[in-house]
Structure 1
C-alpha cells in the first residue's frame, strides 16, 4: 500500500532528524521508480561498451616484467643471433614402430629451408630446430621413433597467429607418411586454454544461475525470489564485464583468460548473498504485519549498513592484490574489486527499490505468515527457528562452549597440516583435458623424448671469441648433461652443423647457446627446482670447463616460471599483511571494538589454512599432481579472508544489534539462530557458485573451485555457526573492548 501525500510530507520532514541509514532507506523507497529507471539506463549504456578482447595476454612471459632476468636473456639472445632458439610451438612426428629415415631427413631439410628463407608461405616463421630421438641426445625409452621441430618466430607474434602459422606449414609440407601427430607447446596450450574457457563459460554461467535459483527458491519457498536474484545479478554482471573491458583498455592492462569465469562466480555469488539478506529482512517485517513500503524500508535500514560495510570489505580485500609485483595478480585484483563494487551498488539500490515496488509478491507463492514469537524484555521478538534456540542455550554455557571451540579449532589445525608440503608450479599443457589434440601431441613427444622436451631451457654464453673454444664448450655441455633432472643437452660441441648455420653460435663468434631439456614437466615444481639448482651451479661448471670469464644467463619457460613462483612466494607476506590489515580495519570500524575483530579474523585465517591444506591433500597426495598452480593459493587466500570478514560482519553484526537491548548471552541466543538460515543459504550459494568453476576442464579452475568451495563451507558451517557463538560466550563483554558495545543489561529471555 502506497503512502498518501500528507504521509510523504511527514516522511520528508522527519528525514533530517533520523540516522543516516534510515534516511537513506526512506529515500530509496520514496524514489524507487527513479532508481529502477536509472539502472535500466545504465544497463543500456553499458551495452555499447566493448566486450573482453578475444586476443588476450596469457603466455608465461606475459606474467612477468620485461626486465626479468630470464626475459632479458631471451631478448639478448635475439639481438645476438637474429632469431630465437626457444620454440614454444612444436611440430610432433611420432611413430612408435619407427620413423622412416626419409621423414627424419625431410624434417631437417624443412628446417634448413626455413632458415634460408626458401618458403614464401612461411608467414612469421623465421626458422626451425629439428630434434630426432635417433641421435640419443635425450635420454628416453625410444630410439628412432620421433622428430620434434621447434618453430622459431618473433616473440611479438600473437599466440593464435603462431599456432595457425605452424599448423598451416605442417599441413602443407607433411603428409601421413611423415607420421605427423600435431602441434603442441606452451603457446598452443595457452591458445587451447583460452578456447576452452570461452567454450565452457556459457555452461558455467547457466549452471551457476540454475544452482543459485534453486538455492534461493528452496530457502524462500518462492519462485519470485530467484527471479529477483537473477535479474539483479545479471544486471550487475553485464555492467561489470563491459566496464572491466573498458577500464582495461584505457589502462593498457591485459585481461587474463582466467579472470572472466572468476568474475562470474564472484559476482553472482556476492549479489546472491546480499539479495538473500535483504529478502530475509523483508520476509520478517511482512510477517510482522508491516506494509510493503515499511517492510522494504525496515529491511534496508537493518541490512543496508551491514551489506555496505561487507561489500566494501570484500572489495578492499581483493584490491589488496595490487601490492604484489605479479602482473597476473595486479590484473586480478582490480577486476575482482570492480565486480564486488558494482554488485554492491546494485544490491543496496535496486534491490530495496524492487522490494518497495513488489513487496510480498517477491516471496510468492509462499507469502509470509506470522512467525513463532517468544517474549523478550519489554517487547516481542520473532524467533522462527525454535530448535536452534535450544542449541544456542546449550552452546552459550561455558563448558559446552569450550568443548565446541576446542574441537573445531583442533579439526581446522589438523586439516591445515598438509599445507606444509605445498609445491607451486604452472603447467599449461598438463592442465588440458587428456583428449585435447595439443595434449595428445605433447604426450607423444614426451613419450618419445622426455617430459621437459616441449619447453627447453636455453643457457646463453657470451665472451670474446667464445665460439672458437669448442673443447671447452663441449666440456660444459657434458657437465650440464650430468646434472640431476637434465635429460639431454644440445650445444655447439655436439651439433656442429647447427653451429655452422648460426643457430647455436652467433656469426660474430662472441656468443653461444645450449638447449637444455629437463627430465620433468617444464613448468612443474621439480623442473623449477632443477633450473634453480643449475643457476646456482653454473659459475662452478664454467670454471671446471675452462670458461671462467664467460658471462652466462638462462632463459626459457622454466626459468620464467621460477621467477614467477619466487615472486609470488615473496609477495605472500606483503599480500597477507595488506589483506589482513584491510579486513581488520573494516571490522574494527564496523564493530567499534578491537578484541572481537582480532579473534574473528584469526578464525577466518585458520579456516583458510584448513581449506588450503585439504586442497594440497587432494591434489598433491591423492591425485598426485606435481604441484598446485601458483596463483590458486594466493587468489583463494585473498578471496576467502575477504569473504570471511563479509560473513563476520553479517553474523556478529546481528549480535551487536541485539546486544543493544539484551544481555550478550541472550543476544547470541536471539541473533545467531535468526541469522544462521540466511548466512547458510548465502554461503551455500557462494560455495556452489565457485564450485561450478570445476566445469571448466582445466586443472587450475578445478583447484580453485575446490579451494573456494571448501573454504566457504568451512567458514559458514564451522566458523560462523559454531566458533562465533562460543568465542563470544567465552570472551564475554571483553569482545567489545575498548568500545561501548556492551553495557550491563537486565537478564532476558529466561525461558525457551
Structure 2
C-alpha cells in the first residue's frame, strides 16, 4: 500500500502543534492565577465528621460566624516589669479597633500576666480575610503600639495564618522556576542535546497550563478546593510526570530511528504503539492512587486527589500528542548533536534497538555491566539489596507523625512563632487559644465545674456575646452556651492533647449537657486520629488498584505481587531513613500527620511507574528472546532512560524545599530520596534479579511462564 504524500503526513503533527501553542498561550497564565481561588484557612480542611468540626459549625451561631483570634502581647522594652496601669491604655488601644473592617467583634480587655512582665488581649477576626489579613494585622499592630514603653507581638491563629500566606506568596513563579531550571540542566547534561530538553520542558509547561486552567474553573465553581500546598504539589507533579513520560517516548523514538533507513513517521508510529500501554498504565496507577484520596475524611487530602489526577491526565495528553508532533517535525535533529546511531554499531548482544535508549554511550556501558551482574548472580544481588532495605526499614517506626509543633511549622524564623513563645513565657500555655466547649445552657454550671476539675485545665468560664467571661449571664443561642477552657500546656503540645482527652471524657459524662469540645488542640488531635484512620483505609485501596493494573498490563499474577512488595519495601526503607534524617540532621521534632500518607501515595504509585517501564520492556523482549535474555536486554535498554527519569522526578520534588514550611520540606525529602532509592536499587537490582532468579515462574500464569 503506497504511503501518503509527505505533505499530507505533516498535516496532523502541524495541527497538533498549533492546538498546543494555542493552549499554551491561552491557558498558560492560569498557572499564576490559582492563588485567586485558593485558601490557606486551615479551618476549611478539618475532618468532616470530627467533634472539633461540629464545634466550629456551632460556634458560627454565637457570632454569626466562627472567628480567628489574633492575640496581642505587650512586653516592656527593657525586659522588666510593666507599669501596673498599662492595662488601661492597652485596653483602650484594642477597643478602638471595634468596627474596623476585618474585626469580628469587640476585643477582650487587656490582662496582665502573673509575673507583671506582659499584657495580652484577644482581637476576634473574620475568617477568610485572605489578602486583607496582613493589612488587618498591621492595623492591630499600629493601634497596640500606642501603649508607651512596650514592644508589641502578634500571636495566635490569625498571625500564623498570615505567616502561612506569606510563605506561599510567589509560590507560582519561584517553585516553577526552580523545578524547570533543575529539569533543564539535568536533561542537558544527561542527553547532551539542545533541542530535545527544550521540547520536553515546553510540553510539561503546556500540560501544567492546561491542568491549572481546569483546576481554576473547578475551584471557582466550588467543585474542588485548593490551598498553597495542593497548588505547589500540582506544579511539581505535572512537571515531573510529564517529563518522565516524555523521556520514555523520546527514548523509544530514538531506538526506532536507529534502524537502517528508518522513516521518522513510521518510527514515531512504532514508538507510540510500544510506549502507549506502559505510559497509560503508569499514569493510571498515579491518577487512581490520587483519586483514592477521596476516601479520606480530611478535606486537604480529598482536595489533592482530583486536582492531582487532573494534572496527571494533562501530562499524559501532552506526552501523547504534543511531543510526538514536535519529534516528527524535527526528526533526528531533535537529538542533535547526539543523533541516533545506525544499528549494529553498539556493544555486542544489545541489538540496534537497545542502542538508542541510553542517554549517552558511557551510560549504556554501565547498564551492560549491571545487567551482566544481575544475570550472573541474581540471588546474591537481590538478597543483599533486600537486606539493606530491611535494615533501613527497621527505623520506620521511629518516624513521629503526631504533628509538627508550632515552632517547627516554618523552616525559617516566623514572627508568629516568636510571638507565641513570648506569650507562653508569661501566660498559661493555652492562653488566648482555649478549648471551646459547646453545651446545653441548663447544664452550663455543671460543665464548667467538670472542666475545672480536669488536671491540665487552668480555668473555664461561660462567655458573653463579646467572648468575655460571663458566669452569671452567658450568651445563649438556641439553648446552647459557649464555655472557654484555658489549658496549662501550649495548645500544640503533647500535654495539651492529653488534657483534651481527659476534658472530653469529663464533659461528655455531664448528664443532659450534650457537650462538645473543640478549639485548635482538639482540631490537631482529631486531624491526627483521622489521618491514622485514612492510612488504614487508603493504603490497601491504593495497593489493590496498582495490583489490578499490573496484572492487566503484565498478564501475570506472581510478578505484580513481587512488584507491589518491592515498592512497599522501598517506602518503608525511605521512612526509616527519613526518621533518622528529620531528627538528627534537620532537627524536626515530628512530621505532619498527612506526611506518611502523601509519601505512600507518591512513592508507591511513582515507584510502580518505573517498574512498569522496565517490566513492560522485559516482557516484550522475553516474548522474542526468552525470559533470561529478556531481562538482560530489557534492563540494558531501559536503564539509562529510567534512571534519568528518576533523577528528574527527584529534582522536581526536591524543589518543594524552597517553600519554608516543614510539611513540604518533609514531603520533598521523602519523595526525592525514595524515588532515587527505587530507581537505583529496587528497579535496577532487586526487581530484575528476582525475575531472573525465578525465571518463567515469575510470569505465572501467563504465556511466558511456559516458555524456556
- The TM-score, its normalising length taken from structure 1, stands at 0.84
Question: 1:327 is matched with which residue?
Answer: 299
Max Rg structure: 1
Question: 1:373 is matched with which residue?
Answer: 346
| Deviation of the 1:8 alpha carbon | 1.6
Whether 1:615 aligns to 2:585 is no
8 Å CA contact 1:132, 1:144 repeated in 2:
no
Q: 5 Å matches for 1:84-233?
A: 88-95=69-76, 96-109=79-92, 113=95, 119-121=98-100, 124-130=103-109, 132=111, 134-135=113-114, 143-154=115-126, 156-161=127-132, 164-175=135-146, 177=148, 179-233=150-204
**Alpha-carbon spacing, 1:55–1:132, altered in 2? closer, same or farther (3 Å):** farther
Whether 1:61 aligns to 2:43 is yes
8 Å CA contact 2:68, 2:158 repeated in 1:
no
| Deviation of the 1:630 alpha carbon | 1.7
Question: 2:4 is matched with which residue?
Answer: 8
Q: 5 Å matches for 1:68-83?
A: 68-77=50-59, 79=61, 82=63
Q: Number of aligned pairs?
A: 692
Whether 1:445 aligns to 2:423 is yes
Whether 1:234 aligns to 2:193 is no
State which of 223, 232, 236 in structure 2 corresponds to 1:265. Answer: 236
State which of 407, 413, 416 in structure 1 corresponds to 2:393. Answer: 416
Separation in structure 1 between the aligned mates of residue 325 and residue 302 of structure 2, nearest angstrom: 35
Question: 1:38 is matched with which residue?
Answer: 19
8 Å CA contact 1:615, 1:706 repeated in 2:
yes
Name the stretch that deviates more: 430-439 or 309-318: 430-439
| Deviation of the 1:526 alpha carbon | 5.4
Question: 2:469 is matched with which residue?
Answer: 499
8 Å CA contact 2:93, 2:147 repeated in 1:
no
**Alpha-carbon spacing, 1:250–1:514, altered in 2? closer, same or farther (3 Å):** closer
Question: 2:503 is matched with which residue?
Answer: 534
8 Å CA contact 2:382, 2:689 repeated in 1:
yes
- The TM-score, its normalising length taken from structure 2, stands at 0.89
**Alpha-carbon spacing, 1:432–1:44, altered in 2? closer, same or farther (3 Å):** same
8 Å CA contact 1:90, 1:454 repeated in 2:
yes
Question: 2:267 is matched with which residue?
Answer: 295
| Deviation of the 1:373 alpha carbon | 3.5
Separation in structure 1 between the aligned mates of residue 381 and residue 123 of structure 2, nearest angstrom: 62
**Alpha-carbon spacing, 1:84–1:337, altered in 2? closer, same or farther (3 Å):** closer
Name the stretch that deviates more: 368-377 or 582-591: 368-377
Whether 1:561 aligns to 2:561 is no
Whether 1:598 aligns to 2:561 is yes
CA RMSD of aligned residues (A): 3.2
Whether 1:489 aligns to 2:459 is yes
Question: 1:479 is matched with which residue?
Answer: 453
**Alpha-carbon spacing, 1:363–1:325, altered in 2? closer, same or farther (3 Å):** same
Q: Deviations over 1:681-716 (max 9, x none)?
A: 000000010011101111111011001101111110
Q: Secondary structure at the match of 1:585?
A: helix
Q: Deviations over 1:391-435 (max 9, x none)?
A: 4233224xx322221222222222222332333225566412543
8 Å CA contact 1:433, 1:698 repeated in 2:
yes
Separation in structure 1 between the aligned mates of residue 320 and residue 147 of structure 2, nearest angstrom: 63
State which of 391, 395, 419 in structure 1 corresponds to 2:374. Answer: 395
Separation in structure 2 between the aligned mates of residue 35 and residue 512 of structure 1, nearest angstrom: 61
Q: Secondary structure at the match of 1:152?
A: strand
Separation in structure 2 between the aligned mates of residue 203 and residue 57 of structure 1, nearest angstrom: 19
**Alpha-carbon spacing, 1:718–1:617, altered in 2? closer, same or farther (3 Å):** same
Separation in structure 2 between the aligned mates of residue 120 and residue 414 of structure 1, nearest angstrom: 61
Separation in structure 2 between the aligned mates of residue 405 and residue 415 of structure 1, nearest angstrom: 15
Question: 2:248 is matched with which residue?
Answer: 277
Name the stretch that deviates more: 441-450 or 580-589: 441-450
Q: Deviations over 1:271-313 (max 9, x none)?
A: 1112212222233333334233333333223323221221222
8 Å CA contact 1:28, 1:353 repeated in 2:
no
Separation in structure 1 between the aligned mates of residue 695 and residue 108 of structure 2, nearest angstrom: 72
Q: Secondary structure at the match of 2:459?
A: strand
Separation in structure 1 between the aligned mates of residue 461 and residue 307 of structure 2, nearest angstrom: 45
Name the stretch that deviates more: 650-659 or 49-58: 49-58
Q: Secondary structure at the match of 1:528?
A: helix
Q: Deviations over 1:643-682 (max 9, x none)?
A: 1111111011111010011121111111102211101000
Question: 2:414 is matched with which residue?
Answer: 436
Question: 2:613 is matched with which residue?
Answer: 650
Question: 1:19 is matched with which residue?
Answer: none
| Deviation of the 1:133 alpha carbon | 5.0
Question: 2:433 is matched with which residue?
Answer: 455
Q: Secondary structure at the match of 2:666?
A: helix
State which of 655, 664, 670 in structure 1 corresponds to 2:627. Answer: 664
8 Å CA contact 1:433, 1:439 repeated in 2:
no
Separation in structure 2 between the aligned mates of residue 106 and residue 84 of structure 1, nearest angstrom: 29
8 Å CA contact 2:433, 2:486 repeated in 1:
no
